[in-house]
């Protein structure tokens, strides 16, 4: 954690909708060091994907306003033109998309999709790019890459396609990779393969990874730090160890408890989080989680808790009634 590769400061992404302003990302600040893996977890609709796209400088829809600051290796992303962003896309920051079924062009040979990037961004010649593309396909574990170079996406399985997507994203050795639920569309054994591959490549290519997921199992062993998001805000962040073993925010606990465990006897009922994610158009004055929280008091409903430190370095949470440190009995 030497240099800070990514600095996000007070980032807001607000969508103007017919029902009013919708704060999808609501004042998020964090930093990410070099060669670090950060996990961002939260339920569907907690703003994870919007956050990733905002960091990337992509706007899903035109009526979004973004304020705050995102600096990737020193270059500001918020408020810059597409031409400026093009300078960091691919070489500084890259994104691995959710669904490998839709993130490859169905009518272009996969090799071409990999070496396209190399030719645009690195200015490689046709032959060099092809050679490098085949190397990349081999690196991501595609068998007989020379043959697969000529294949169309429809001729590959989901896991293989995601490997190709990773190869395209990593083609120009970006320093930061945003992986937005990279394994959602894949079955469990393939998920593990893809995540291990990402890990391996991270070490090999010396890059930082932001792993966005709703699956705590995914982040548990692979990240050094975790951010827990709820309703567009960070509700807890800290080292993976702290978040898993010493969480203070009831939401984090609820999230952890709702993950099924292999060690449970069969027919154990799954623990759920009661209620529904909040309507972002009609947020309460207080803590967004209060309506679903069993510890909620009047204060929780009326005043919004800010992030506060726990004393352990880097571990912060936003809650009026934090759980007592569970480190001792864990």
Partner 1 sequence: MKPEKKKPLGILFWVCVGWIILNVLLAVFASFLPLIDPLYQNYNAVNSGPSLHHLLGTDDLGRDILSRIIFGSRVSIFVSFGAMAIAFLVGVPTSMLASLRRGRFDKILTTVMYSFLAFPAIIATISVLSFWEPRSLSKVTIIVGIFSIPLVYRVIRTASLAVAGREYVTAAKVQGATDRRILIREILPNITPILVSFLLIGIAAVVALEGALAFLGLSINPPTPSWGNMINEARTVLDVNPWLVIFPSIALVLFILSLNFIGDRLRNHFDVAEVKI
Binding site for partner 1 (CB under 8 A): 56, 58, 62, 86, 89-90, 94-95, 97-99, 102-108, 116-117, 120-121, 151-156, 165, 168-169, 171-172
Taking the C-alpha atoms of 185, 189, 191 and 193 in order, what is their torsion angle to the nearest 10 degrees? Answer: -140
- Tokens 């980032």 belong to 11
C-alpha distances out from residue 327 to 195, 251, 321, 323, Å: 28, 17, 17, 11
The helix or strand, by DSSP H or E, that contains position 115, with its residue range, turns out to be helix 110-121
Between 56 and 288, CB nearer to partner 1 = 56
Quote the least distance from Cβ 316 to partner 1, whole Å.
30
Between 149 and 320, CB nearer to partner 1 = 149
Taking the C-alpha atoms of 152, 181, 210 and 261 in order, what is their torsion angle to the nearest 10 degrees? Answer: -130
Three-state secondary structure call for residue 97: coil
Between 112 and 253, CB nearer to partner 1 = 112
With contact defined as beta carbons under 8 Å apart, do 255 and 228 qualify?
A: yes
For residue 265, count CB atoms less than 10 angstroms from its CB and return exposed for 0-12, middle for 13-18, buried for 19 or more: exposed
Between 73 and 103, CB nearer to partner 1 = 103
Taking the C-alpha atoms of 296, 299, 302 and 304 in order, what is their torsion angle to the nearest 10 degrees? Answer: -80
Quote the least distance from Cβ 26 to partner 1, whole Å.
24
Between 106 and 265, CB nearer to partner 1 = 106
Q: What are the residues whose beta carbons fall under 8 Å from the beta carbon of 26, sequence distance 6 or more? A: 12, 47, 231, 232, 233
Quote the least distance from Cβ 104 to partner 1, whole Å.
6
Between 144 and 308, CB nearer to partner 1 = 144
Quote the least distance from Cβ 194 to partner 1, whole Å.
16
Quote the least distance from Cβ 271 to partner 1, whole Å.
33
- Tokens 């989080």 belong to 273
Between 104 and 300, CB nearer to partner 1 = 104
Quote the least distance from Cβ 219 to partner 1, whole Å.
23
Q: How far apart are the first and last CA of the chain?
A: 27
Quote the least distance from Cβ 117 to partner 1, whole Å.
4
């Amino acid at each position: 954690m030497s240099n800070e590769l990514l600095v996000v400061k007070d980032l807001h992404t607000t969508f103007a909708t017919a029902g009013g302003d919708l704060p999808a990302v609501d004042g998020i600040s964090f930093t990410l060091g070099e060669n670090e893996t950060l996990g961002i977890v939260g339920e569907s609709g907690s703003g994870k994907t919007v956050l990733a796209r905002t960091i990337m400088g992509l706007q899903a829809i035109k009526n979004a306003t973004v304020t705050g600051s995102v600096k990737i290796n020193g270059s500001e992303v918020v408020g810059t033109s597409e031409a400026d962003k093009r300078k960091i896309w691919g070489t500084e920051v890259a994104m691995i998309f959710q669904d490998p079924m839709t993130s490859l062009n169905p009518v272009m040979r996969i090799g071409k999709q990999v070496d396209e990037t190399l030719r645009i961004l690195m200015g490689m010649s046709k032959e060099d790019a092809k050679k490098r593309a085949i190397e990349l396909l081999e690196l991501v574990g595609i068998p007989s890459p020379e043959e697969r170079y000529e294949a169309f996406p429809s001729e590959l399985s989901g896991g293989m396609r995601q490997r190709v997507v990773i190869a395209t994203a990593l083609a120009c050795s970006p320093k930061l990779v945003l992986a937005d639920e990279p394994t959602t569309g894949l079955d469990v054994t393939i998920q593990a393969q893809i995540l291990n591959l990402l890990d391996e490549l991270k070490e090999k290519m010396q890059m930082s990874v932001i792993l966005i997921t709703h699956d705590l199992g995914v982040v548990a062993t692979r990240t050094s730090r975790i951010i827990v998001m709820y309703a567009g805000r960070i509700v807890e962040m800290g080292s993976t160890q702290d978040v898993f073993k010493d969480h203070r925010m009831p939401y984090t606990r609820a999230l952890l408890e709702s993950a099924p465990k292999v060690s449970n006897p069969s027919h154990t009922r799954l623990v759920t989080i009661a209620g529904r994610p909040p309507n972002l158009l009609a947020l309460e004055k207080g803590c967004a989680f209060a309506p679903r929280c069993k510890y909620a008091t009047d204060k929780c409903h009326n005043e919004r808790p800010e992030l506060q430190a726990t004393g352990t370095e880097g571990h912060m949470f936003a809650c009026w009634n934090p759980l007592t440190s569970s480190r001792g009995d864990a």
